């Protein structure tokens, strides 16, 4: 992937905002002696208070933003997810839903009515959102739709302190966790971090600290020496702690993670020589995280083997792992389409194609269910890929 030449120019106000954030990142680089790990750069670019992409006011989701997600593309996604989690909610009276990173609120707005139709409403629908403006969008959307039968809506500042009973959902959140980048030089692992160059930022390699070198070596059965010279990729050193925190929170029920990602074997495949780092700006995907800091999303695919390892270490069971297409089909996409009338409205047919086709979202996106207790979501009967993790 290369940076397209046709990235739209930000407005003067947006450029000024980005310049403020860039100045902050330059200060951090300078204070750290001229170099920071890419995870620290990504953390600032996405989450610096008042300035980062998710902390400040960029539109982010939807036609006027930078990307669209499955629940934004089609209500079919939320309806199928509702079918998959309904048995867990029905078996746990008084259970809650906790949605992490709910974006515009589209998933909640689709899930709640679908769960009501299935007789599986949670007691509370709780949101944990790091972005103040997305939290506002969620409140506005859900507040306008809420009816007397709706569960109580709550916005949390942190994971619940008490043991959570119910279903935790995170669609396209894990890919926003900051990643470290590495490259192989002279057979050794180098950390590919960020330095300052001509007023902007540039990649800068330096020998990996022992923690990064060991983490990279653990990614291949034969250790770091199995990576070819120049091989470059990412590793999320924060993902295990994030999953550990979620595991500690989940007292009974399930956690459903949907994201673009793959098994470790696929992630660190010898031919994937440039990793998975991707930036999204006004519906263009490119690979330059130093363009317009604070105005664009920066993501990396999820290593689902790492998710599974951390979950098992936290006492959860991996209850299912499937492509988005297989998950949606098993969860009842066919029934949803059959109930949508004949002929199928062309818009719905197009949405279903986008969710299902391998060249669209069907295969790149995966769904993983983690559970504590005997209950597990559906959606994995069609083709469960846990054996491949
Ligand atoms: C790509 S958007 C996905 C939004 C929504 N889940 C959807 O599918 O439309 C990422 C969301 O995660 C939120 N987010 C990012 N990092 C987060 C974190 N560490 N914890 C909770 N939410 C986070 C963002 O503010 C945003 O709402």
Of all protein residues, the one whose alpha carbon is nearest to atom 5 of ligand 1 is: 103
The confidence score (pLDDT) of residue 289 equals: 96
Residue 124 lies in a domain: yes
Range of the domain at 322: 70-176+239-271+299-382
What are the φ/ψ torsions at residue 338 (nearest 5 degrees)?
-60, -35
230-258, pLDDT tens digit by residue?
999 999 999 999 999 999 999 999 999 99
The confidence score (pLDDT) of residue 57 equals: 67
The confidence score (pLDDT) of residue 60 equals: 74
Residues 6 or more apart in contact with residue 9 via CB below 8 angstroms: none
Residue 162 lies in a domain: yes
Of all protein residues, the one whose alpha carbon is nearest to atom 7 of ligand 1 is: 103
Ligand 1 within 6 A of 296 CB?
Answer: no
Compute the distance from residue 102 Cα to the ligand 1 centre, in Å.
6
The residues of the chain scoring below 50 in pLDDT are none
Compute the distance from residue 170 Cα to the ligand 1 centre, in Å.
8
Residue pair 196/26 in contact (Cβ under 8 Å)? The answer is yes
Compute the distance from residue 134 Cα to the ligand 1 centre, in Å.
9
Residue 201 lies in a domain: no
Residue 23 lies in a domain: no
Count of domains forming the chain = 1
Of all protein residues, the one whose alpha carbon is nearest to atom 12 of ligand 1 is: 101
Tell me the whole-structure pTM to 2 decimals: 0.95
Residue 233 lies in a domain: no
The confidence score (pLDDT) of residue 45 equals: 96
Residue 220 lies in a domain: no
Residue pair 151/125 in contact (Cβ under 8 Å)? The answer is yes
Residue 150 lies in a domain: yes
Compute the distance from residue 205 Cα to the ligand 1 centre, in Å.
30
Ligand 1 within 6 A of 305 CB?
Answer: no
Q: Residue 267 sits in a domain of what CATH number?
A: 3.40.50.12710
Helices (H), 68-131: 70-73, 75-91, 106-117
The confidence score (pLDDT) of residue 199 equals: 86
DSSP structural state of residue 191: E
Locus of tokens 């669609």: 171
344-373, pLDDT tens digit by residue?
999 999 999 999 999 999 999 999 999 999
Residue 279 lies in a domain: no
Locus of tokens 């990649």: 203
d(CA 44, CA 271) in angstroms, rounded, equals 30
Q: What is the DSSP string of 9-72?
A: PPPHHHHHHHHHHHHHHHHHHHHTTS-B-HHHHHHHHHHSTTTSTTTS----BSTTSSB--HHH
The confidence score (pLDDT) of residue 259 equals: 98
Strand partners, 203: 194
The confidence score (pLDDT) of residue 366 equals: 98
């Amino acid at each position: 992937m290369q940076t397209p030449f046709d990235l739209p120019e930000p407005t003067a106000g947006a450029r000024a905002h980005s310049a403020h954030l860039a100045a902050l990142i330059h200060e951090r680089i300078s204070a750290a002696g001229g170099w920071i790990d890419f995870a620290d750069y990504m953390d600032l670019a996405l989450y610096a208070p008042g300035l980062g992409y998710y902390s400040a006011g960029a539109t982010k989701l939807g036609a006027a933003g930078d990307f669209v997600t499955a629940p934004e593309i089609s209500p079919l996604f939320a309806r199928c997810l509702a079918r998959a989690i309904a048995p867990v909610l029905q078996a746990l009276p008084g259970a809650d839903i906790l949605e992490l990173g709910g974006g515009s609120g589209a998933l909640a707005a689709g899930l709640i009515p679908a769960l009501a139709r299935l007789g599986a409403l949670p007691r509370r629908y709780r949101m944990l959102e790091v972005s103040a403006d997305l939290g506002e969008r969620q409140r506005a959307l859900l507040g306008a739709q809420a009816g007397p039968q709706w569960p109580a809506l709550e916005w949390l500042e942190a994971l619940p302190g008490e043991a959570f009973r119910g279903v935790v959902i995170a669609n396209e959140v894990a890919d926003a966790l900051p990643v470290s980048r590495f490259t192989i030089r002279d057979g050794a692992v180098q950390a590919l971090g960020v330095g300052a160059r001509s007023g902007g930022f540039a990649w800068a390699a330096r020998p990996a600290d022992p923690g990064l070198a060991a983490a990279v070596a653990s990614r291949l059965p034969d250790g770091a020496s199995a990576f070819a010279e120049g091989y470059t990729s990412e590793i999320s050193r924060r993902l295990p702690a994030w999953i550990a925190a979620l595991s500690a929170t989940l007292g009974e029920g399930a956690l459903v993670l949907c994201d673009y990602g793959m098994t470790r074997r696929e992630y660190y495949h010898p031919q994937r020589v440039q990793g998975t780092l991707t930036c999204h700006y006004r519906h263009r995907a490119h690979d330059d995280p130093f363009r317009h800091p604070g105005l664009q999303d920066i993501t990396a695919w999820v290593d689902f083997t790492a998710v599974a390892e951390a979950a098992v270490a936290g006492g959860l069971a991996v209850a299912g792992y499937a492509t988005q297409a297989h998950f949606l089909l098993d969860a009842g996409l066919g029934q949803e389409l059959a109930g949508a009338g004949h002929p199928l409205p062309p818009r719905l047919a197009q949405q279903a194609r986008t969710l299902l086709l391998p060249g669209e979202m069907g295969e790149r996106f995966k769904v993983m269910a983690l559970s504590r207790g005997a209950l597990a979501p559906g959606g994995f009967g069609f083709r469960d890929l846990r054996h491949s993790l």
